[in-house]
Amino acid sequence: MPPTVIRLATLDDAPEVAALVQALDLHYGGPEAAQSLASTLAMVERSMREAEGTRYALAFRDGHPVGLACFAVLRPGFRLSGLLFVKELFVEDQARGQAVGAVLMRWLADHARAQGLSRIDLTTEGTNTRAQMFYERLGAERMDKVFYRFNLSADVLSDD
């Protein structure tokens, strides 16, 4: 099995990042949830150019991108050291079961430690038991937290 190589994505990698984001949307949401590749690429490029906090790590096998981690550093975090929040972790179907996800998570941990961050936080859908088992196998602690979301397309948190 070829080694998995992980690196921080640059703007030059935006097309590969966009293709994996689209594959992620198709995998979890189906064709009705996935946006066009052009729209996805525009979002990825905008997030990279504006340095809004979103970062992408790419996993490669034989020079081809097969996995993606979308993450951000959040502060102040635990004891002001900050934390790395993983928004998405995705491995293409043909690369699953080959430790790509574990290598991505180890890379994220090393990246976080190098920045002095003290933890990694992430969420999964309540029904995504495969992801939950994966994270727990890696040593993640299941937290007793309540997750909230404001849907800004609705009339919430507006001055009206």
Lowest mean pLDDT among 44-48, 52-56, 79-83, 143-147: 79-83
Q: What is the overall mean pLDDT for the chain? A: 91
Residue 87, pLDDT score: 96
pTM of the model: 0.83
Residue 160, pLDDT score: 62
Structure tokens at 139: 């040593």
Structure tokens at 146: 């309540």
Class of domain 4-137 (CATH, top level): alpha beta
Per-residue pLDDT at 32 exceeds 90:
no
- pLDDT tens by residue, 81-110: 889 999 999 999 999 999 999 999 999 999
**Given pLDDT bands bounded at 50, 70 and 90, which one contains residue 5?**
very high
The conformation of residue 88, written as its DSSP 8-state character, comes to: E
- pLDDT tens by residue, 107-157: 999 999 998 888 999 999 999 999 999 999 999 999 999 999 888 887 778
Q: Domain residue spans in the chain?
A: 4-137
CA dist., res. 114 & res. 124, Å (int): 25
CA dist., res. 72 & res. 54, Å (int): 5
For residues 32, 89, 47, 19, the Cα torsion angle rounded to the nearest 10 degrees is -50
Nearest of 92, 88, 95 to residue 47 by alpha carbon: 88
